[in-house]
Amino acid sequence: MRFRFIDQAKKEFPASRLCHVMGVSQSGYFSWKDRAASRRQRDDLVMLAHMRTAWSLSSETYGSPRMTRELQDQGFDVGRRRIACLMRGNAMHVRQKIK
């Protein structure tokens, strides 16, 4: 969280000053910046692409239980809570069908 703030604010202030104010080392910040995405983050991005496709095809009516089943049918090994967290974090809110 601190590193992300420093990364966003470094356009206005030097990174060394921001690191000092936030109480982190410069080497820690730069190693965070150069670090590659974790396996889970890469998996989440792939799943998110599939989720957005399924969500739009369902007219935005799939909630986390149905989305979980859809992704499991496509071969992903995921749980409902992870899908719910991804949906919540990416503003994928369910619309109820009009009968």
The model's pLDDT over 68-97, given as tens digits with 9 standing for 90+, comes to 999 999 999 999 999 999 999 999 988 887
Ordered alpha helix ranges (H), 10-63: 15-22, 26-34, 39-57
Residue that wins the pLDDT comparison between 99 and 63: 63
Please name the residue that has the structure tokens 């992903």. 76
The model's pLDDT over 24-68, given as tens digits with 9 standing for 90+, comes to 999 998 998 899 889 999 999 999 999 999 999 988 899 999 999
Domain positions in the chain are 2-34, 39-89
Other CB atoms closer than 10 Å to residue 79's CB: what's the count? Answer: 11
* Pairwise CA distance, residues 99 & 94, whole Å: 15
Q: Which of 55, 42, 39 is nearest to 88 (CA)?
A: 55
* Pairwise CA distance, residues 90 & 40, whole Å: 16
